[in-house]
Amino acid sequence: MTRHLLADDDLTSAEQREVLTRAAALKADRFADRSLAGPRSVAVIFDKPTLRTQLSFTVGISELGGYPVMVDGGLAQIGTRESIADVTRVLTRQVAAIVWRTYGQDRIEEMAGAATVPVVNALTDDFHPCQILADLLTIAEHTGGLAGGVDGAGPALAGRTLAYLGDGGNNMAHSYLLGGALAGLDVRIGAPAGYRPRADLLARAEAIAATTGGSITVTDDPGAAVSGADAVATDTWVSMGQEDEASERLAPFRPFQLDGDVLALAAPAAVVLHCLPAYRGKEITAEVLDGPRSVVWDEAENRLHAQKAVLSFLLDHTGGPGARL
């Protein structure tokens, strides 16, 4: 069976811990895993602007011994000039895996349906699973959770509280819900009315949390979301593709800015996360982003280690024609 990572809950809770364990090991020894030695090639496709995703996948594939084939989505026009299924059939005859940063979740699901090699979601409008794995690794590093790996089961995050302030309906919020629930976290989403998570995804997260000991809270009170939290995250108020809404979003989102007063409500040792790019003075102040509790640069580095671990895991758990590439 070909394994993909299209949404956070494509991994079980145990598999998520396995991926995080691999990521921590690769951070300790960057060249310990050569899953793509040959080199085997991986297609990395971008329909949206990128910096960290392009950098971390390119470097990561190379460090696994492989060769990253960068595909310009604007030139390829996947789904416009040529059907997604036909593009996928071509790619899977030549590469060991496909990484795609695109718009609709339906696009990457269609590709996975036609693929015989692993497909990795490098961001869609609905989910950003690679970013959340990097965030979980970062939280574990800074809250002592890596010690849970001593028993071989992987980082222990259960019982910690993650608060997210911002657009509850964007891809980061949705992935925090699913990925955080899998890790057994108490996930709190603080979002303005009208910007809540999608109801079906909220139900999925609540169902997962019921099996892992986590919990899910959605509130329009930013102070209630952050109170006592071990990690506080935020994201831009205007995601890619929403630029026309920028001015109308300022007023409802302003109370959800992560500033010093809001952060003071969190646990004394709470860490601050931001997936970047950050807009100082809007969703986060410079005082907080550049302050001593910010771990955003560790978080950015951990994209590399988490994504290498994802590729290694998917290749190890994939059989059939794709396994021969």
Question: Catalytic residue numbers?
Answer: 101, 128, 131, 235, 275, 303
Biggest alpha carbon distance in the chain?
55
Sign of the Cα pseudo-torsion (319, 57, 231, 255, in order):
negative
User: How far apart, in whole angstroms, are the C-alpha atoms of residue 226 and residue 220?
Assistant: 11
CA dihedral (24, 28, 29, 32) positive or negative: negative
Q: Which of 156, 165, 207 is nearest to 185 (CA)?
A: 156
% helix, strand, coil for the chain, step of 5: 45, 15, 35
Question: DSSP for 182-196?
Answer: HTT-EEEEE--TT-P
Do residues 95 and 66 make contact, with C-beta atoms less than 8 angstroms apart? Answer: no
